[in-house]
Amino acid sequence: MIFAGVDVGSMSAEAVLFDGEKILAHSTIVVKPNPLQSATIVMDTVLAESGLTYDDVTYCVSTGYGRERIPFAQHDVSEISCHGKGAVWAIPSIKTVIDIGGQDSKVIRVDANGDMDDFVMNDKCAAGTGRFLEGIAKTFHLHVSDLGVLALNGTDPAPINSICTVFANFDVMCMLAEGQTKENIAYGVSNVLARRIFGLVSKVGLVEDVCITGGVAKNQGVVRSLEDIMEVPIQKLPVDSQIVGALGAALFACQRYENLQEKNKAEAN
Amino acid sequence: MSTQNVQQEVTPKSALEELLTLPRRGENPYIQDWKANGGKVFAYVCSYVPEEIIYAVKGVAKSRYLPVRLGATGCTKTEDADIDLSRCLCSFARSTLQMGLDGEYSYLDGLVYSSSCEQMRRSFEYWRDKLHPDFLEMISVPRTTDTQAHFEWYLEEVNNVRLKFGQKYGLLSNKASLNETIKIYNRFRELMLELYALRSGDAPKLTGTEALNIALAGFNMPKDIFNEKLEAAIEELKARPAVTGYRARVLLAGSPIDDPALVEIIEGTGALVVTDTLCTGRKYVEGMVDETTDDPVRAIAKRYFSKETCPRMMDGTDARVAYVKRLAKEANVDGVIFQYITFCDNHNIENIIESRSLEKDGVPTLTLEREYQPGDVGRLRTRVQAFMERINK
């Protein structure tokens, strides 16, 4: 049996195929303006890679901000629950999941089953999200994925005071004009984002083990800053951090299908 | 078939249907009637303005005064108001000022403000300097409620505004009209609490969205007519089947809510709002005015000053924490949803204090930041849906 999870976020969309025990395939794309289009493309891609069709999928769960408008999904679950589920499947000892996404950051406290005990999300502000980093990368004429390496090469983090995405960019431009190195600015940017995230972590309380999911988890500069501020190690995921939401959705698809089967069996008896 | 259709069209709305769909502001037929009969309409800002002192003003037969709560539902932009305002003014204050500029309040004869929060207090000056209503007064409300001196201060402020009506229009309330009004308002509170009981029991008879629509009708029509309608509506509600299919019972707390859109978003995820601690909700209807005293103005002021307090008060935090816990327990809720309008510091900080205390007791809580104008549906839905998943895990 094949279970699918599809996660349409604000910046990227992911799909995961799961057979009840292992990940069969996964795919990631940059989102289109229309969430349904993104979901269809990323699903088409992952199915084509595995030589499968929509008919082969037993049950599909959608998540992410476009989750309610995906016609091939039988059910939708919030991305908060999905990141918790996916992370604990990947590392069973995880208790705290930090997901830094494109427009939302969240800290999720999970139990041993990966079910959510508590969560907090960012306020109505892009500070502390992937958008923040993307804006800074643009100012440097770099791709956002290059920002982490740049930050790791910084030695003396530039002091960035503004926590506003727009004004931090302005700060950065002024610093460049004053002759600060890109490396130190990137280091400073990582620290600002990490402090913002640490504020959220403190709200739910820090319980080890901790991992980071979402696209920003790939930014080694942010990971270093977060470890420095939290003073605990961040566990390295054995799967691509960006697919954890879609993986969680696929796990919920599997769980929900099994529950429905049991319910049907009980009713038949 | 066709005759049936015609009959359906002319069948008058039931009291419940009418209260659920009553148009707002100038479109409201009761306000239109009131004006047509020579009555005046005054908006008040915040629940520290005692409505009774306005409603009790009586002159020749029909020249009566109707207090309505100032609201700005349906406001979609604030760019004209923004020109002269700080960017930190909350979107509720902005929306009221924008609607003032847009002429949405042309049915009003004046406004009575109270110095409730800085957001609203600073918008008072905007009304004074830009919008020039015919009658505009401010009740200065002390920030502590625990001494007699503070109460006397508030009472004097209330009395001053009462007398201003007399100076301006030559009409005053008197003991008899005040006592009559007190009875009407106390009856209103009794009925509204009965409506709360229909929501917070084991088999809720109405949704939070419906309850808010009924409350909004109550803010915008004469209370004696509203009481009759509500009495009938309560009978209709008792006779109908209970609400089913919800995933969790929640208490709603935080900034004032006068737009059903937010409650609709919350209930759209499967939550059922069975009670609240809102000043536009439960706090508005709790606490009776003493009907037995010889000094009705003092009795009215006493009720408004000693009701469940707003977080703008420096004292009363412990009482407010105890209040939210008591209501959560009484209504047997699965969780509490706090929300605040951006820059509503009083509620934002109060929410943190109350939610920490509830979580310590094992009551799940969620806090939402929002704007006054509805929108941002996806962001809010994600948070409430996740909260439902946390409760139902």
Give me the mean pLDDT over the B369-373 stretch.
Answer: 93
Report chain B residues whose CB lies below 8 A from the CB of A31: none
The sign of the torsion formed by the CA atoms of B238, B67, B341, B282 equals negative
Residue contact A115–B393, C-beta within 8 A: yes
Report chain A residues whose CB lies below 8 A from the CB of B268: none
| pLDDT at residue B171 greater than cutoff 90 | no
| Residues in contact with B172: Cβ distance below 8 Å, sequence separation at least 6, in sequence order | B57, B162, B163, B165, B166
Residue contact A124–B382, C-beta within 8 A: no
pLDDT digits 0-9 by tens, A45-92: 999 999 999 999 999 999 998 899 899 999 999 999 999 999 999 999
**Spatial separation of the C-alpha atoms in residues A45 and A22, rounded to whole Å:** 19
pLDDT at B1: 42
pLDDT at B51: 96
Where do the domains of chain B lie, and which CATH numbers do they carry?
A: 26-176 (3.40.50.11890)
| pLDDT at residue B64 greater than cutoff 90 | no
**Spatial separation of the C-alpha atoms in residues B104 and B119, rounded to whole Å:** 20
**Spatial separation of the C-alpha atoms in residues B182 and B304, rounded to whole Å:** 12
Structural element, H or E, at residue A96: strand A96-100
**Spatial separation of the C-alpha atoms in residues B134 and B128, rounded to whole Å:** 10
Give me the mean pLDDT over the A19-48 stretch.
Answer: 94
| Residues in contact with B260: Cβ distance below 8 Å, sequence separation at least 6, in sequence order | B209, B212, B213, B216
pLDDT digits 0-9 by tens, A95-116: 999 998 877 889 999 999 999 9
Question: What is A1-91+238-269's CATH topology?
Answer: Nucleotidyltransferase; domain 5 (3.30.420)
Domain boundaries, chain A: 1-91+238-269, 93-236
**Spatial separation of the C-alpha atoms in residues B306 and B312, rounded to whole Å:** 14
pLDDT at B2: 45
pLDDT at B22: 95
pLDDT digits 0-9 by tens, B92-102: 999 999 999 99
pLDDT at A158: 87
Q: A67, A70, A78, A88: best mutation site toward chain B, by most B Cβ within 10 Å? A: A78
ipTM value greater than 0.90: no
pLDDT tier, B381 (very low <50, low <70, confident <90, very high otherwise)? very high
* End-to-end Cα, chain B, rounded Å: 50
**Spatial separation of the C-alpha atoms in residues B303 and B312, rounded to whole Å:** 17
pLDDT digits 0-9 by tens, A210-250: 999 988 888 999 999 999 999 999 999 999 999 999 999 99
The sign of the torsion formed by the CA atoms of B176, B182, B188, B190 equals negative
| pLDDT at residue B63 greater than cutoff 80 | no
Helix (DSSP H) and strand (DSSP E) numbers for chain A? 8, 10
Q: Confirm if A234 and A212 have CB atoms less than 8 A apart.
A: yes
pLDDT digits 0-9 by tens, B226-245: 999 999 999 999 999 999 99
Mean pLDDT value across chain B: 93
Enter the tokens of residue B265: 């978003």
Residue contact B389–A116, C-beta within 8 A: yes
Find the DSSP H helices in B240-316. Answer: 260-268, 282-285, 296-306
pLDDT at A209: 95
Q: B87, B345, B383: best mutation site toward chain A, by most A Cβ within 10 Å? A: B383
pLDDT tier, B60 (very low <50, low <70, confident <90, very high otherwise)? low
Residue contact A118–B378, C-beta within 8 A: no
Q: Which residue has the higher pLDDT, A172 or B78?
A: B78
Q: Does A65 touch chain B (CB under 8 A)?
A: yes
**Which amino acid makes up residue B371?**
E
Enter the tokens of residue B159: 């009395």
Structural class in CATH, domain A93-236: alpha beta
**Spatial separation of the C-alpha atoms in residues B316 and B92, rounded to whole Å:** 25
pLDDT at A163: 67
pLDDT digits 0-9 by tens, B267-307: 999 999 999 999 999 999 999 999 999 999 999 999 999 99
pLDDT digits 0-9 by tens, B101-158: 999 999 999 999 999 999 899 899 999 999 999 999 999 999 999 899 999 999 999 9
**Spatial separation of the C-alpha atoms in residues A123 and A104, rounded to whole Å:** 9
The sign of the torsion formed by the CA atoms of B292, B294, B297, B303 equals negative
Enter the tokens of residue A214: 């979402």
| pLDDT at residue A26 greater than cutoff 90 | yes
Burial A139-161 (b: 16+ CB within 10 A, else e): bbeeebeebbebbbebeebbebe
pLDDT at A176: 86
Region for residue A238 given its phi and psi (left: phi exceeds 0; alpha: psi -120 to 50; beta: otherwise)? alpha
Q: Does A80 touch chain B (CB under 8 A)?
A: yes
| pLDDT at residue A169 greater than cutoff 90 | no
pLDDT at B139: 96
pLDDT digits 0-9 by tens, B192-231: 999 999 999 999 999 999 999 999 999 999 999 999 999 9
**Spatial separation of the C-alpha atoms in residues B102 and B112, rounded to whole Å:** 20
pLDDT tier, B3 (very low <50, low <70, confident <90, very high otherwise)? very low
**Nearest residue, CB atoms, B342 vs list A68, A115, A124:** A124
Give me the mean pLDDT over the B11-25 stretch.
Answer: 92
**Spatial separation of the C-alpha atoms in residues B212 and B210, rounded to whole Å:** 5
pLDDT at B190: 98
